[in-house]
Structure 1
Amino acid sequence: MQHAIGAALQPAQRDVIRHSHERSATFGLVETMRPDYAVLSGAELAVKLDESRALFAHALPVMETLYAQIANTHSMIALTDASGLILHSLGDDDFLARAEKVALRAGALWSEEHQGTNAIGTTIAERAAVTVHGDQHYLRANHFLTCSSVPILDPHGNLSGVLDVTGDRRGYHQHTMALVKMSAQMIENRLIASGFGDGLRIRFHSRPEFIGTLMEGIAVFDLDGRLLCANRSAQFQFGLELGRLRSQTLDALFGERVDALIACAGETPCRLELHSGVAVFASVDFHARAPSNVSLATTAIAVREEAGSSLADLCTGDAQMNDIVARVRRVIGKNIAILIGGETGAGKEMLARAIHADSPRRVGPFVAVNCASLPETLIESELFGYAQGAFTGAAKRGAIGKIVQACGGTLFLDEIGDMPLAMQSRLLRVLQERVVEPLGAGRAVPVDFMLVCASNRKLRERVAQGEFREDLYYRINGLSVTLPPLAGRTDLRAVVDKILLRERFAGRVVRIGEDVLALFARHPWPGNIRQLSNVLRTASAMLDDHDTHIRIEHLPHDFLDELRERVQFADDTPTPTPMQPARGARLVDIEASAVAAALRAHGGNVSATARALGISRTTLYRKLRV
């Protein structure tokens, strides 16, 4: 049956719609038929989300930004995979209600085979941006829609998915397609930025002010100079499509060697010349993993600067930690929840971040929630999000919760033992069904994430006391590990060195002397690694400009006070030096000696001495009277 293709369309657009209608007819569709309204179950959709987790993780924040630009236009935004299956949607409530009637929601398939001519399906068929307006849709049931879709390509040029804005045809805006194209390009650029751990990334444009914008070209090369990928802007500036670019090298495209560009990495934009002779400004980023034979110090610095902590970074010689890391490695990527126990400050979040960094979901977000720090009145909206106008004081456009933010990545629930019972019930439902329903939304959002929980409480006791749900306990306790307290570890020196290397206080690599390490070894460290980090940070701030060694006089006085209260020194204290305690010396004498030395160093100036020691003048006078 003949359809109105639209006389106002350009010839090329008219041909796209005509060809799509012809394909729709060959699929056996009839314009008056009822569309295929089949929608995947929550479990089936969760599998599809897992298959597209990188796309979903990078598209979600872009969709939120795009929605802010089109809010209140009676429309919605949809993200699909390469088959046209809707993975996620959001939009105006009034239009979403109408969209539900034609299954325009997560879990529905909008390929041409199922829905006939429509922007999503036709974009997939044409691999090009497509707008389908009103009666250009093949099925009459969809004639009330106007849709603008853009393909999203992965870093290798393959179709990854489709970004679509659909609305009431009466509210059609010509600028919508431009917004969708810009958003799709943002997603593609994010995929490129996260898709290559090692290599040389060059961002360039003929005008330096366009570097850092959507107009910049992005090209990634391996360390042999072979091109790995290039975004659409780079392809345009090179004048070559990605298929032809894949055979090109850094030298052929920019006339430079890898080592020459590595030398200017991180500096202000440098001038380069494309193979076509066009001069461009370029910003160069260089990333490379440390080889296996480098020192622990070099590796620790590289890990900190490039990707944060990893599991290998946590293995510093303690057998307990080595065993924990080995056990965790066995379950990463196998959809097994991990529960981390241990005292406050023992490094539970550090381990959680390392798990994320070494997991297949590392390209996705790491979202941490401290269940103990959120007021009971806020934890529900913080975790699950809320719709517009869900409660008094709610943000005008609503908000997505932490659980949705973690899609494609890792959700870390710290101090989960302090979560209110009512929230435990809701969390259990999310973990079972893999969907979350924001407050006041009336619709479920599919979610997919790796779950890591932590608690300094003994959850089994909480279960026995009726303060923690037993079914939730077994849901989050796939693999349980307990971090040892710092005082019970055998790698104190390595932990100290790692913290000092990671922090690079004032740009310097700082060390501690053996006398300070001896004090550290005697301390019970009730605050564990967190307390140690704070002590080292404060002590480093006490150093003179060119000093690189922490000595006893640099240690915070509250730390020394705590040590004096908790520890009795034996008579085998090292032989006295200007910075070491005498045999049998009391800690109060060591402190007094350090204060006197600081006072002499500042010529008796009490104010200058107090500033150097990081204490008040009143405290200094009190210590001088001891």
Structure 2
Amino acid sequence: MASFNTEFDQTLHHAWHLFREGHDVPHHDVPDTVQRSWSRSRDYGLNESARILFDPVPRARIRELSEQHRQLLELVQPDMTRLFDTLSSRDWALAFLEAEGCVLASIGGEKPDMRDVVTALRPGVNLSEHIAGTSGPACVLAEGRPAVVSGGEHFFEAIRRFSCAAVPVMSPQGGLAGVLNGSRCHDGRPLGVIEPLMLAARSIENRMVEALPGATVIRLHCDPAFVASPLAGVIALSDQGTVLGATAYARHLLGLDSTEPAGIDALLDTTHDALLDALRDTSRPARLWRHNGIALHAQRVQREPARGVPRPAARTASGAASPRFDRQTHRAVWQAERVYAQGLPVLITGETGTGKEVLARHLHDTGPRSQGPFVAINCAAIPADLIESELFGYEPGAFTGASRHGKPGKLEQANGGTLFLDEIGDMPLPLQARLLRVIQERAVTRVGGTRLLTLDCALLCATHRDLRRSVQTGEFREDLYYRINGLSVSLTPLRAREDFEALIDTLLAELGAPGRPLRLDSASRQRLRQHRWPGNIRELQQVLRLGAALSHDGIIRSDDLPAELVAPTDNTLQPSQTLQSAERAAIVQALARNGGNVSATARELGVARATIYRKMEPFELEGVRDLDSDRGEAAD
């Protein structure tokens, strides 16, 4: 045993000697869970002095485990990182084990006195009881329940300087998917922290159920206030209403036997069709009833990616990771799916980098035209004199330099599929008139030609501008605006998203190597929080990629981030400055940080929006008014 300075350690020391001598150990001295594990470990013939946990693990075995459990790791790592950041990080090491006992991923243990436990928790090490003896993970693997093992309660001497808490993570089918473990140095007292681990485990279980393909996902709780929280149970149903998977808490709420497949009508006092109808409104929970009269509250989850927004790990055509959309946007996305499926146009608004093309591709991929082409054209990136030929195509010899074979335009190429016009607010007025005719007539004439070519394509448009304002100023045709705006979906800028921290963790998990996730230290994470993100998710992805490339130990620090990420501002009033000039400088700097958005600037400075407008004329900032109007709908 290790040193015995506390009453707890002395009691354990005495209990261990009783055990070794074959005597009964008082139940109040050592928990029954630990005593049963001691007995099993002895029956396995383990030697308490063994150091098997420190033996080398073949790299081929680590690669094999990572490949075998790649999808599970993708679901686990964001919650592991988030949990680690909520703990006293330097004092803890976290690990996730698969159901057979092998460590798949670990994080933490930066302090020198944590070196041994970090070695014992490295990927590939098997912590099953028949190999590693009594420990928190071993007890969970053996008995399927949360376990805490402190100091001398461990069977192996080599790890008695540490304490660990471990909880099971259950699969959607009701079996054990793995174990989440937290370890720290033993301080002479029993370890009592297990609640954060249980919450993280429940979040992982929720993720696993929500990731089941081709399923209707429903959140359940007895209290409607907790339906949208990680405390809710989650269940996934097939198109026929059969349970495909459920979290442990959902099984408890529904009285679901994990070994038997069941239909939802056997669990609730409703039919599958009636259930879907009751959950049609995804903005608030619906009340359901079990056959025994117990009331539950339920809400349908917007699917990712089958019927909702794309999963974080999905890839765009360019190969970049597709960002998730925030919870505020889920209902708008669901409405856009319905509208697009009926052949109506959808207008997507939002700042640069918020994911407008990602949403457009999602609508195409999940809609009735998914087997047809997706043709995208950026109206702001093509020279004005080429937009017409790009859109409508041209006949042979239509202009100098034209191909002698002619060329079909984007509208023709999109036949049977979807045409996506990005930054349509930058389209020249003459072309707006011709596009309007094409949309009305569903036919196009190539440049230099006379034949009418029939078109059959869905139309999606996107812009960062306020098109209603552009209509008022005469920069955009009113009749075209109403033709392309069957439904308007506004994407939230990154700085206003509620899931900013979760999005960072998801992107870090994608960039990290299997079993060795990336994470941010507290200073670099604070810099990310303070930045205004004018480039939104696209900018965040690039910043994290740079940090990952410069990090040498899996921890992204401030020095690994771009120097301009949060440019320090000099707020010192110079002798030559008047109070008025300092006030003007503060407003100008705030406007720059907020991309010219007056509402956001007013919120940052803690004044009314009218105050900013009132200062514009004396400070010669009148031009900002138009900039704010151009961006207002997308940014506010």
Give the TM-score taking structure 2 as reference length.
0.49
Q: Which residue of 1 aligns with 2:619?
A: none
Contact 1:74/1:95, CA 8 A, preserved across alignment: no
Q: Which residue of 2 aligns with 1:224?
A: 240
Equivalent-residue separation in structure 1 for 2:422 and 2:465 (angstroms): 12
Q: Note the 1:222-621 alignment, pairs <5 A.
A: 222-243=238-259, 246-264=260-278, 265=280, 266-285=282-301, 298=341, 310=365, 316=372, 492-493=411-412, 495=414, 498-499=418-419, 512-514=436-438, 522=447, 542=476, 544=478, 548-549=482-483
Equivalent-residue separation in structure 1 for 2:359 and 2:243 (angstroms): 27
**Structure 1 residues 28 and 154: alpha-carbon distance in aligned structure 2, compared to 1, 3 A threshold:** same
Q: Report Cα offsets for 1:210-250 as digits up to 9, x if no partner.
A: 1112332222222222222222222222344423xx44322
Q: Which residue of 1 aligns with 2:564?
A: none
Contact 1:149/1:162, CA 8 A, preserved across alignment: yes
Q: 2:239 is matched by which residue type in structure 1?
A: L
CA deviation after TM superposition for structure 1 residue 251, in Å: 2.0
Q: Which residue of 1 aligns with 2:206?
A: 189
Equivalent-residue separation in structure 2 for 1:238 and 1:230 (angstroms): 10
**Structure 1 residues 315 and 154: alpha-carbon distance in aligned structure 2, compared to 1, 3 A threshold:** same
Equivalent-residue separation in structure 2 for 1:163 and 1:117 (angstroms): 16
Equivalent-residue separation in structure 1 for 2:114 and 2:156 (angstroms): 19
Equivalent-residue separation in structure 1 for 2:339 and 2:408 (angstroms): 18
Find the partner of 1:166 among 173, 183, 189.
183
3-state SS in 1 of match to 2:94: strand
CA deviation after TM superposition for structure 1 residue 100, in Å: 5.5
Equivalent-residue separation in structure 2 for 1:488 and 1:3 (angstroms): 88
- Is 1:202 aligned with 2:218? yes
Equivalent-residue separation in structure 1 for 2:412 and 2:340 (angstroms): 13
- Is 1:83 aligned with 2:100? yes
Equivalent-residue separation in structure 2 for 1:314 and 1:345 (angstroms): 26
CA deviation after TM superposition for structure 1 residue 164, in Å: 0.1
- Is 1:69 aligned with 2:86? yes
3-state SS in 2 of match to 1:268: coil
Find the partner of 1:26 among 43, 64, 82.
43
Q: Report Cα offsets for 1:262-304 as digits up to 9, x if no partner.
A: 22322522221122211222213476969xxx99963999995
3-state SS in 1 of match to 2:55: coil
**Structure 1 residues 98 and 550: alpha-carbon distance in aligned structure 2, compared to 1, 3 A threshold:** closer
Equivalent-residue separation in structure 2 for 1:535 and 1:178 (angstroms): 44
CA deviation after TM superposition for structure 1 residue 311, in Å: 10
**Structure 1 residues 488 and 83: alpha-carbon distance in aligned structure 2, compared to 1, 3 A threshold:** farther
Equivalent-residue separation in structure 1 for 2:115 and 2:465 (angstroms): 60
Contact 2:148/2:165, CA 8 A, preserved across alignment: yes
Q: Which residue of 1 aligns with 2:55?
A: 38
Q: Which residue of 2 aligns with 1:106?
A: 123
Q: Report Cα offsets for 1:107-163 as digits up to 9, x if no partner.
A: 222122221111112211212211111111111111111111111121112222110
3-state SS in 1 of match to 2:288: strand
Contact 2:422/2:463, CA 8 A, preserved across alignment: no
Q: Which residue of 2 aligns with 1:372?
A: none
Find the partner of 1:129 among 118, 130, 146.
146
Contact 2:223/2:296, CA 8 A, preserved across alignment: yes
**Structure 1 residues 176 and 514: alpha-carbon distance in aligned structure 2, compared to 1, 3 A threshold:** same
Q: Which runs of 5+ in 2 are unaligned?
A: 1-14, 308-336, 347-357, 383-405, 426-434, 449-459, 486-625, 628-636
CA deviation after TM superposition for structure 1 residue 513, in Å: 2.7
Find the partner of 1:149 among 159, 163, 166.
166
Q: Report Cα offsets for 1:324-349 as digits up to 9, x if no partner.
A: xxxxxxxxxxxxxxxxxxxx979xxx
Contact 2:103/2:127, CA 8 A, preserved across alignment: yes
**Structure 1 residues 18 and 522: alpha-carbon distance in aligned structure 2, compared to 1, 3 A threshold:** farther
- Is 1:214 aligned with 2:133? no
Q: 2:245 is matched by which residue type in structure 1?
A: C
**Structure 1 residues 157 and 512: alpha-carbon distance in aligned structure 2, compared to 1, 3 A threshold:** farther
Q: 1:227 is matched by which residue type in structure 2?
A: V
Contact 1:120/1:164, CA 8 A, preserved across alignment: yes
**Structure 1 residues 252 and 501: alpha-carbon distance in aligned structure 2, compared to 1, 3 A threshold:** farther
CA deviation after TM superposition for structure 1 residue 36, in Å: 4.0
**Structure 1 residues 308 and 31: alpha-carbon distance in aligned structure 2, compared to 1, 3 A threshold:** farther
**Structure 1 residues 257 and 15: alpha-carbon distance in aligned structure 2, compared to 1, 3 A threshold:** same
- Is 1:115 aligned with 2:132? yes
Equivalent-residue separation in structure 2 for 1:545 and 1:209 (angstroms): 45
**Structure 1 residues 7 and 295: alpha-carbon distance in aligned structure 2, compared to 1, 3 A threshold:** closer
CA deviation after TM superposition for structure 1 residue 2, in Å: 5.4
Q: Report Cα offsets for 1:165-199 as digits up to 9, x if no partner.
A: 01111176754211111111110111111113233
3-state SS in 2 of match to 1:22: helix
**Structure 1 residues 79 and 522: alpha-carbon distance in aligned structure 2, compared to 1, 3 A threshold:** farther
Equivalent-residue separation in structure 2 for 1:150 and 1:502 (angstroms): 48
Contact 1:99/1:105, CA 8 A, preserved across alignment: no
Equivalent-residue separation in structure 1 for 2:28 and 2:342 (angstroms): 58
Equivalent-residue separation in structure 1 for 2:107 and 2:270 (angstroms): 46
Contact 1:300/1:501, CA 8 A, preserved across alignment: no
Give the TM-score taking structure 1 as reference length.
0.50
**Structure 1 residues 304 and 102: alpha-carbon distance in aligned structure 2, compared to 1, 3 A threshold:** closer
Aligned pair count reads: 374
Q: Which runs of 5+ in 1 are unaligned?
A: 322-343, 347-486, 506-510, 524-530, 552-614, 617-626
**Structure 1 residues 8 and 223: alpha-carbon distance in aligned structure 2, compared to 1, 3 A threshold:** farther
